[in-house]
Amino acid sequence: MPITTAVFDAYGTLFDVAAAARALATEPGRGDLAAVWQKLAADWRAKQLQYSWLRAVTGDYISFWQVTQDGLDWALEANGLNDLDLREHLLALYWELAAYPEVPAMLADLKSAGIATAILSNGSKDMLDGAVSSANLGDLLDAVLSVEDVGQFKPDARVYDLVGSHFATTPDQVLFVSSNGWDAAAAAAYGFTTLWANRAGEPVDRLPGVPQHQANDLSGLAALATTL
């Protein structure tokens, strides 16, 4: 069945999660951050994901905003940065993450082809609204779906159910796109046609589902979607 709907993970897929630390590291007086910003950004993202997985397993759901703060606190301590002002600035910038350069044109091409577009994210609704607004993507998305509606994080199948509930689609009508290998694998196991945006050139995760497609960015996504 032809693809009718393209659904995207948000953080790391449409939005550059390293942008907050990268931007702040260039400011005068941020020498301590400049020396470690890449490791800090990687640690922050890793803990953000790990905490969401652990909470999914234990059933201790809290908002992704709290998970994001907890991950940052761990990363700051791990990198020897005990700076409340830095913490607050990094958190503020997380609401204004830049989209990857190819994203606006790619979404516009999908819309022109008659394919519905949406975000499906662990992010809380207010976080996602802030990122979408800051990146000027609102007119290019038909829906922004958050795990808040089910009170559970990916890869719980109830999260992927949100797509069919909203768009009245079957899984084979959906192209799901994520930069997280585990998310792409889970979505493939769920039944979505899946593209892994493998920006870092990592190996495929050894999980039950295997993404049917890979790319190192999203520039060719609209062309792919119209041929499936």
Residue 34 belongs to a domain with what CATH number? 1.10.150.240
Two structure tokens written together for 91:
């958190």
Give CA–CA dist 29/27, Å, rounded.
6
Same domain, 112 and 85: no
Indicate yes or no: pTM above 0.85. yes
Same domain, 181 and 131: yes
Amino acid in position 17: V
pLDDT band at 193 (very low <50, low <70, confident <90, very high): very high
Q: Is the pLDDT of residue 13 over 90?
A: yes
Same domain, 171 and 74: no
User: 72 lies in which domain range?
Assistant: 19-94
Q: Which of 167, 168, 174 is nearest to 8 (CA)?
A: 174
Q: If you average pLDDT over residues 9-36, what whole number do you get?
A: 95
pLDDT digits (tens, 9 = 90+) for 44-65: 999 999 999 999 999 999 999 9
Same domain, 109 and 212: yes
pLDDT at 1: 76
pLDDT at 46: 97
pLDDT digits (tens, 9 = 90+) for 78-109: 999 999 999 999 999 999 999 999 999 999 99
Angle at 184 between CA 113 and CA 217, to 5 degrees: 55
pLDDT at 31: 94
Per the omega criterion (within 30 degrees of 0), is the bond before 211 cis? no
Strand intervals (E) in 83-166: 116-121, 143-146
Two structure tokens written together for 128:
């996602």
CATH value at residue 167: 3.40.50.1000
pLDDT at 99: 97
Same domain, 59 and 121: no
End-of-domain residue from the set 47, 66, 94: 94
pLDDT at 183: 98
Same domain, 167 and 77: no
Same domain, 55 and 115: no
85's enclosing H/E stretch is helix 84-94
Same domain, 53 and 130: no
Give CA–CA dist 42/17, Å, rounded.
9
Note whether 155 and 122 are within 8 A (CB). no
Q: Which residues are identified as catalytic?
A: 9
Domain total of the chain: 2
Q: Is the pLDDT of residue 189 over 90?
A: yes
Note whether 183 and 155 are within 8 A (CB). yes
End-of-domain residue from the set 41, 66, 94: 94
Mean pLDDT of the chain: 97
Question: Tokens 């607050």 — which residue?
Answer: 88
Note whether 34 and 205 are within 8 A (CB). no
End-of-domain residue from the set 94, 109, 125: 94
Q: If you average pLDDT over residues 22-35, what whole number do you get?
A: 95
